Amino acid sequence: MGRPARVEPFARRIVDWQRAHGRRDLPWQGQRDPYRVWLSEIMLQQTQVATVREYYVRFLQVFPDVQALAAAPLDDVLALWSGLGYYSRARNLHRCARAVVELHGGRFPASSDALAQLPGIGKSTAAAIAAFCHGERAAILDGNVKRVLARHLGFDADLAQSGPQRALWVKAQALLPESDAMAAYTQGLMDLGATACTRNAPRCGACPVANGCEARKTGRTALIPAPRPRKALPEKSVTWLLLRSRGRLLMEKRPAPGLWGGLWVFPEAPGRDVRGHCRRSFGCEIASRTPLAPLEHGFTHFRLHIRPLLCHVAQKPFPSAPGRQWFAVDEAAAAAVPAPVRKLVLSLAK
């Protein structure tokens, strides 16, 4: 069955543009190693390229292959992920590595359908791995690519809804080139979304598919994809107890799954009676308390206001126990901790 007339020009232009003008200097580019492609795709979800670069290189130094990652304790994986956010990605990464080793003999399956069965690998990530590593004709549809395709096609339905999403997948699949160009095409769409067809200020003059772009022709680039209504995020407040005893800081491991699951976080004060709480829960008397500068941390679904309270412990407290540990300050900075905890730890190290 023949394809629509616009198919080949669109893919051809994306491929040619990628080869001439696409990004060249990303450490994960030009890879056919599924482990490295997978790692970069997971890290790039929700996170800027500039941030991912450093994490990606460091991660590979410690875990150069899927066997090394599968054999590592989750704590070590979370420690390397610390500061990158969205920690369920790291937990799934670890589960996925173990599944690849245990179920697939240490080799990622080749097809996007089989890849999408693994923990933490969604349809678009599976397609990217299969396209880059095996040339499979599978369409990706991450946030950037959704925007490029929706604008190009003049597709103005609400992409938060599953029906329009499914329809866009079908259209994305119909635009694919032959498999020998799949890697360049997939990379080209990603590059176009990141560098030219940006959310707020698309540079249509630099776009290889500007001629056929419905959003540009009809002056609707600001309306496609349909902007999501902005909801005011709920606010939450918490007091963190930075219990310091003989140069060590007490932290508790958050249960997983859950917010910051598997990470070490300072204990929270359940109410105003900090001294009584510390006596009952940690076996320690507080000699003095110093409020530190408050912090804010944004999650996708709420904003957290953190009031840190540095508490000097007067007598020997309860020792470390499962899920509760006294860390030397330099150990705490290198442990699996979320960004605001690390910030506080580093401020105490100065």
Supply 145's token pair.
């690519």
> From the list 13, 94, 216, 244, which residue makes contact with ligand SF4 (rule: CB under 6 A)?
216
Q: Does 11 bind ligand SF4 (CB under 6 A)?
A: no
> From the list 204, 226, 269, 329, which residue makes contact with ligand SF4 (rule: CB under 6 A)?
204
User: Is-cis flag, bond preceding 202, omega within 30?
Assistant: no
Task: Count CB atoms within 10 A of the CB of residue 164.
Answer: 17
> Of 254, 268, 242, nearest to 327 (Cα)?
242
331 included as an active-site residue: no
> From the list 110, 210, 269, 304, which residue makes contact with ligand SF4 (rule: CB under 6 A)?
210
Which helix (H) or strand (E) element contains residue 235? strand 235-245
* Least spacing, CB of residue 142 vs ligand SF4, in Å: 15
Enumerate the H helices of 244-335 as residue ranges: 274-282, 329-334
* Least spacing, CB of residue 209 vs ligand SF4, in Å: 6
Which helix (H) or strand (E) element contains residue 79? helix 74-81
* Comparison of 155 and 327: residue with beta carbon closer to ligand SF4: 155
* Least spacing, CB of residue 160 vs ligand SF4, in Å: 20
> From the list 112, 221, 239, 245, which residue makes contact with ligand SF4 (rule: CB under 6 A)?
221
* Least spacing, CB of residue 39 vs ligand SF4, in Å: 28
DSSP 206: G
User: Is-cis flag, bond preceding 255, omega within 30?
Assistant: no
Stretch that binds ligand SF4, among 109-117, 126-134, 144-152, 262-270 (CB under 6 A): 144-152
* Least spacing, CB of residue 147 vs ligand SF4, in Å: 7
Q: Does 148 bind ligand SF4 (CB under 6 A)?
A: yes
> From the list 202, 267, 317, 340, which residue makes contact with ligand SF4 (rule: CB under 6 A)?
202
The site for ligand SF4, by CB under 6 A, has a size of 14
Pairwise CA distance, residues 191 & 8, whole Å: 19
Task: Kindly list the distances between the CA atom of residue 118 and the CA atoms of 81, 98, 126, in Å, as whole numbers in the listed order.
Answer: 20, 10, 9
Supply 234's token pair.
């709920």
Pairwise CA distance, residues 33 & 134, whole Å: 10
> From the list 69, 141, 196, 286, which residue makes contact with ligand SF4 (rule: CB under 6 A)?
196
Pairwise CA distance, residues 292 & 347, whole Å: 10
* Comparison of 213 and 263: residue with beta carbon closer to ligand SF4: 213
From 8, 41, 252, 268, the catalytic residue: 41
* Interacting residue ranges for ligand SF4, rule: CB under 6 A: 148, 151-152, 196-197, 202, 204, 207, 209-210, 213, 215-216, 221
Catalytic residues: 41
